[in-house]
Amino acid sequence: MSETTTPVSEFAFSMKGISKTFGSVAANEEIDFEVRKGEIHALLGENGSGKSTLMNILSGIYQPDSGTVFVGGERKVFHSPKDSIQCGIGMVYQHFMLAEPLTAAENISVSTGGFFVHHKKESAAIRAFSEKYGMEIDPDKLTNQLSVSEKQTVEILKVLYRGARILVLDEPTAVLTPQEIRALFRVLRKMRDGGCSIVFISHKLNEVMELCDRVTVLRKGRSIETCDIKDIDAYELVEKMVGRKVDLSINRPIPKEDCKECLRIESLSLRDPDGYVKVNAASFTLNHGEILGVAGLAGSGQKELCEAIAGIAPVESGRIIFEGNDIAGKSPREIIRMGVSMSFIPEDRLGMGLVASMDITENILLKDYSFQPGVFLKTAPVREKAERIVKELEISTPGVHHPVRKLSGGNIQKVILGREIHLSPKLLITAYAVRGLDINSSYTIYNLLNEQKMKDVAILYIGEDLDVLLELCDRIMVLCAGEVTGIVDARSTTKEEIGQMMSGTRYEELKGGVDYVSNH
């Protein structure tokens, strides 16, 4: 193949006129996507804009209905991911695909083929290889002992080591601290300078502006724009993604002065069903009319903390005091019976919180039916409530008898939020309230939360986007490995400070360190 004249192309790969439909939904329509050699190319678009479909076509998981993929100027048809890998295309997914009991080196070399494994040789080769790109990794460490960012490094190495020259990174920064993100960017730039092409998928615009050379925006399955990053700003990008101008500021009301304490957590500890400590001696308070943000890497105990307060996860020790009553260890129904009005919007809305196949009315009934007398279910009064929620929150649905599974992510979130707010809770716990939502819906949710705050509701907001946490919350509590590393004023703290606490530095140490420097 190399003897024949390979067409010279400035593009590492190009996808032309890609279309793909699922049922009656056109996920990709005539998309053109071209990435040059030696560039970092951002692929932007809201959820459902067709990014994943396009990348699944590039990686050979899906076959396009029509359209062509060229790699290095040559037309390619990928029948399976194997074909795509052979063309030097490598995917790094958000969910790591590593064999936990193996070492890093074994995970990396497993993808290179060959029958025998030479442990020492491989491990040395991988060490040398990773140093070339400025990545730090101990190849002999077991994968289950690696941190999240190390696992990601292994994923990237795995792909590079088998010779990939085109890398697709799907939301790589979602699981990293600000410091780790900076290190990742250094590595990516080095790879680019070495001639690799990188597709960077992210919804954090500031990262895209900082890292990428060019950008392609998708909207509703079509490619809207491809241009150099230096020719465009974040506001224009959002406009292209959403299709109209969006106000990107959150209006944060000042909490009232005389707010009473709503929730007090005293040295709360709990373990998951496998016996691992998930929350360790956490203590904090939450006032009425306040939004307390919770920052932390994924899996730092946020989910377990919320579930413990809501009575779903068992508490090992400690107290959860709601307006003077200890509710630790009580079941959700017992908590309701005690007259505690608390609403919890869990992380996985369809897995916990809503019943996917049931309609909006029945899902709203879920929190109401137990108050109904008798054995029979009364849906009529709830239907009116459902109609009101649909109207107030502008949920786009053919009707209140439409199964929630068929609604979009934003509308699903509005259904559960509407249901919980309509119970007029005193405490509202939201876990990743805007995950998977488009920009517009996200801002609707922020406004709704602020409205609740002004109604004296105490809000515990588990977030993942630090910029939003800083803009929305009154105080921010940082969790690291189940421990509270600090609680700071959101108006005066910085991203760096939070980042350091996310990776385990305690607030006192942080401040102590500063004092130490200033004293000398």
Partner 1 sequence: MFQITKRDELPTWQGVLIRIGSILAGVLLASFIIAILGFDPVKTFAALIGGSFGSSSALINTVTIAIPLAITALGLAIAFRMKFWNIGGEGQIIMGCVFATFVSHNMPASTPGVVLILLMGVAGFLGGAIWALIPGLFRVYLRTNETLFTLMMNYIALCIVQYLHFVLWRDPAAKGFPKIKAIQEQAHLPMLFGVHIGFIVAIVLGVLVFLLIRKTKLGFEIRVVGESAPTANYAGINVRQVMLTGVILSGGIVGLAGMVKLAGAVYTLSPSITGNAGFTAIVIAWLSNLSAPIMLVVSVLIAALEQGSQVIQIKLNVPSAVAAVIQGLILMSALGGEFFLRYRIVRRKREQSKSQKGDA
Determine which residue in the list 114, 116, 376, 519 makes contact with partner 1, applying CB under 8 A.
Answer: 376
Nearer to partner 1, 23 or 114 (CB): 23
Determine which residue in the list 125, 248, 277, 358 makes contact with partner 1, applying CB under 8 A.
Answer: 358
- Euclidean distance between CA atoms 506 and 249, whole angstroms: 30
- Exposure on the CB side of residue 205, measured as CA atoms within 13 A: 18
Nearer to partner 1, 272 or 471 (CB): 272
Binding of partner 1 by 366 (CB under 8 A): yes
54 neighbors 98 (Cβ within 8 angstroms) = no
- Euclidean distance between CA atoms 263 and 285, whole angstroms: 6
How many other C-beta atoms can be found within 10 angstroms of the C-beta atom of residue 171? 15
Determine which residue in the list 377, 391, 489, 491 makes contact with partner 1, applying CB under 8 A.
Answer: 377
The string of DSSP letters for 46-74 reads: -TTSSHHHHHHHHTTSS--SEEEEEETTE
3-state secondary structure of 434: coil
User: Which stretch, 134-142, 151-159, 325-333, 433-441, contacts partner 1 (CB under 8 A)?
Assistant: 325-333
Task: Find the binding residues for partner 1 in span 75-94 (CB under 8 A).
Answer: 75, 77
Determine which residue in the list 1, 254, 375, 517 makes contact with partner 1, applying CB under 8 A.
Answer: 375
- Euclidean distance between CA atoms 143 and 130, whole angstroms: 16
Nearest distance from residue 342's CB to partner 1, in Å? 11
Nearest distance from residue 215's CB to partner 1, in Å? 24
Determine which residue in the list 119, 132, 245, 333 makes contact with partner 1, applying CB under 8 A.
Answer: 333
Binding of partner 1 by 336 (CB under 8 A): yes
Nearest distance from residue 412's CB to partner 1, in Å? 13
Nearer to partner 1, 24 or 492 (CB): 24
User: Which stretch, 16-24, 219-227, 257-265, 384-392, contacts partner 1 (CB under 8 A)?
Assistant: 16-24
Nearer to partner 1, 16 or 426 (CB): 16
173 neighbors 200 (Cβ within 8 angstroms) = no
Q: In what order do the strands lie in the sheet with 214-219?
A: 89-92, 166-170, 197-201, 40-44, 214-219, 222-228
User: Which stretch, 90-98, 280-288, 327-335, 500-508, contacts partner 1 (CB under 8 A)?
Assistant: 327-335
Determine which residue in the list 283, 325, 331, 396 makes contact with partner 1, applying CB under 8 A.
Answer: 331
How many other C-beta atoms can be found within 10 angstroms of the C-beta atom of residue 354? 25
Binding of partner 1 by 61 (CB under 8 A): no
Query: Which phi and psi angles does 13 have, rounded to 5°?
Result: -155, 155
* ∠ Cα 457 462 466 (to 5°): 115
User: Which stretch, 59-67, 157-165, 185-193, 490-498, contacts partner 1 (CB under 8 A)?
Assistant: 59-67
Nearest distance from residue 78's CB to partner 1, in Å? 12
- Euclidean distance between CA atoms 27 and 164, whole angstroms: 27
- Euclidean distance between CA atoms 117 and 96, whole angstroms: 23
Nearer to partner 1, 333 or 511 (CB): 333
Single-letter amino acid code for the residue at 224: I
Nearer to partner 1, 79 or 95 (CB): 79
Binding of partner 1 by 275 (CB under 8 A): no
Determine which residue in the list 76, 141, 264, 367 makes contact with partner 1, applying CB under 8 A.
Answer: 367
Which residues neighbour 160 within 8 Å (Cβ) at sequence distance 6 or greater? 90, 129, 133, 167, 191, 196
Binding residues (CB under 8 A) for partner 1: these are 16-17, 22-24, 63-68, 75, 77, 310, 312, 331-333, 335-336, 344, 346, 350-358, 362, 365-367, 369-370, 372, 374-377
